[in-house]
Amino acid sequence: MSKVALITGITGQDGAYLAEFLLGKGYEVHGIKRRSSLLNTGRIDHLYEDPHEVGVRMRLHYGDLTDATNLIRIVQEVRPDEIYNLAAQSHVQVSFETPEYTANSDALGTLRLLEALRILGLEKTTRFYQASTSELFGKVQETPQRETTPFCPRSPYAAAKLYAYWITVNYREAYGVFASNGILFNHESPLRGETFVTRKITRAAARIRLGLQKRAYLGNLDAKRDWGHARDYVEAMWLVLQHHRPDDFVIATGRTHTVREFADAAFREAGLPLRWEGSGVEERGIDGAGEVRVLVDPRYFRPTEVDLLLGDPTKAREELGWTPRVEFEELVRTMVEEDLNLFRRELLCRDAGYSVCPSLEERGPRAPR
């Protein structure tokens, strides 16, 4: 009998890698997707199987972390061996603009899932993984950060995730749920959402190289992050739930870089090495031909910033046998390469007379077929 997993947030970066990983391990995978006016399954379309066929191993269910009855019904129907709670309003800066919604989905959403387990009598049988985050450390009290480092959240997102962290610990202690937190540091990939800084940079570097864009506008270039590859990190999620006891683990590379260093590496990879001039809001990145390619725009500064994240993954290495495989340089190279390919395809379409984003008029009867 294959194990059954339920992934919330299956349409996101991590959900896509995790679904592929679990299918590869022989799991039956169920995922929760939100209804949206456009299809939002682009990251998992390659895994899709026609639900009318027999022996289908991946199924999607409409749902939302803000809807308790819907979550109870899905958990009741699926009766998963493992739940991976990855769904969240995951953008730190957006959480300052949508703090209540972020709390509802990220904090209360986690509670709703844990309660669903209790209501359905599954608290002793279903294992629960909570997508916790290095943002919990916030205003850092200790470097590198480890499982025992005190938390000090610096955003509505981090405050909501703090509740989710502790309610997961509480359901473990109070009701004996096999519930664990993975405290994951930033992890990226070619599937990363376009408004997170790494993908914003690799897209811009590729587009500028191909003449599709002139420059990129970024916020705080001095922020430091411990960046790994999402493919490595979803394996850690699985290992956390295969451990002999529920516990909390830091997942990180143990190396940190500034946003400026990421931009440096990405533009170099795209064939446009930069030199930096000025400081603060006046800082700019200039290419070999003297063109300004990166400018600072204070609109991307956050009301409160997390300056430095650097994780210590010793516990995960010693207890789970987990180590990251992809180094910073390879991560940047892969992301830039994929974005160059993406925008070369866009150029090919354009040269062949097709708009990638056709206007309504172009979509009308006179559009090329």
Q: Residue 347, by phi and psi: left (phi above 0), alpha (psi -120 to 50) or beta?
A: alpha
> Using CA atoms, how far apart are residues 120 and 286, in angstroms rounded to an integer?
59
Q: Could you say whether residue 34 binds ligand NDP (CB under 6 A)?
A: yes
> Using CA atoms, how far apart are residues 223 and 212, in angstroms rounded to an integer?
28
Backbone angles phi, psi at 8, to 5 degrees: -85, 145
Between residue 317 and residue 346, which ones bind ligand NDP under the rule CB under 6 A? Answer: none
Nearer to ligand NDP, 101 or 276 (CB): 101
Does residue 147 carry a catalytic annotation?
Answer: no
Binding piece for ligand NDP, criterion CB under 6 A, among 84-92, 207-215, 273-281, 340-348: 84-92
Q: Which entry of ligand GDR, ligand NDP, none binds 105, CB below 5 to 8 A by partner kind?
A: ligand NDP
Q: How far is the CB of 251 from ligand NDP (least distance, A)?
A: 8
Does residue 135 carry a catalytic annotation?
Answer: yes
> Using CA atoms, how far apart are residues 146 and 137, in angstroms rounded to an integer?
9
Q: Which entry of ligand NDP, ligand GDR, none binds 122, CB below 5 to 8 A by partner kind?
A: none
Q: Could you say whether residue 65 binds ligand NDP (CB under 6 A)?
A: yes
Q: Could you say whether residue 82 binds ligand NDP (CB under 6 A)?
A: no
**Whose structure tokens read 């010793």?**
314
Q: Could you say whether residue 197 binds ligand GDR (CB under 6 A)?
A: yes
Is the CB of residue 317 less than 8 Å from the CB of residue 253? Answer: no
CA angle 214, 219, 223 (to 5 degrees): 125
Inter-CA distances, 244 with 91, 131, 174, 195, 319, Å: 33, 19, 19, 38, 10
Where would I find the beta strands (DSSP E) of the chain?
A: 4-8, 28-33, 58-62, 82-85, 127-133, 179-184, 187-188, 216-218, 224-225, 228-229, 248-251, 257-258, 275-277, 284-286, 292-296
* Residue of 28, 82, 135, 235 marked catalytic: 135
Q: Could you say whether residue 253 binds ligand GDR (CB under 6 A)?
A: no
Q: Could you say whether residue 134 binds ligand GDR (CB under 6 A)?
A: yes
**Whose structure tokens read 């509480």?**
170
Binding piece for ligand GDR, criterion CB under 6 A, among 115-123, 205-213, 217-225, 235-243: 217-225
Between residue 302 and residue 331, which ones bind ligand GDR under the rule CB under 6 A? Answer: 302, 305-306
Per-residue x/- track, 148-187, ligand NDP (CB under 6 A): ------------------------------------x-xx
Q: Could you say whether residue 190 binds ligand NDP (CB under 6 A)?
A: no
Counting Cα atoms < 13 Å in the Cβ hemisphere of 41 gives: 18
Q: Could you say whether residue 196 binds ligand GDR (CB under 6 A)?
A: yes
How many chain residues touch ligand GDR (CB under 6 A)? 23
Three-class SS state of 277: strand
Could you say which of 127, 207, 225, 260 contacts ligand GDR (CB under 6 A)? 225
**Distant-in-sequence, close-in-space partners of 9: CB < 8 Å, separation ≥ 6:** 15, 32, 85, 86, 87, 88, 131
Nearer to ligand NDP, 127 or 187 (CB): 187
Range list of H helices, 137-245: 156-175, 197-209, 230-242
* Residue of 84, 157, 171, 233 marked catalytic: 157
Nearer to ligand GDR, 259 or 326 (CB): 259
Backbone angles phi, psi at 335, to 5 degrees: -65, -40
> Using CA atoms, how far apart are residues 311 and 331, in angstroms rounded to an integer?
17
Could you say which of 83, 122, 218, 320 contacts ligand GDR (CB under 6 A)? 218
**Peptide bond preceding 358: is omega within 30 degrees of 0, i.e. cis?**
no
Q: Which entry of ligand GDR, ligand NDP, none binds 310, CB below 5 to 8 A by partner kind?
A: none
- Beta-strand relationship, 216-218 and 127-133: unpaired
Q: How far is the CB of 54 from ligand NDP (least distance, A)?
A: 28
Does residue 133 carry a catalytic annotation?
Answer: yes
Instruction: Tell me which residues are annotated as active site.
Output: 133, 135, 157
Chain residues in the site for ligand NDP (CB under 6 A) = 8-9, 11-15, 32, 34, 36, 40, 64-66, 86-90, 105, 131, 133, 184, 186-187, 193
Chain residues in the site for ligand GDR (CB under 6 A) = 90, 92-93, 133-135, 185-186, 195-198, 200, 218-220, 223, 225, 259, 300, 302, 305-306
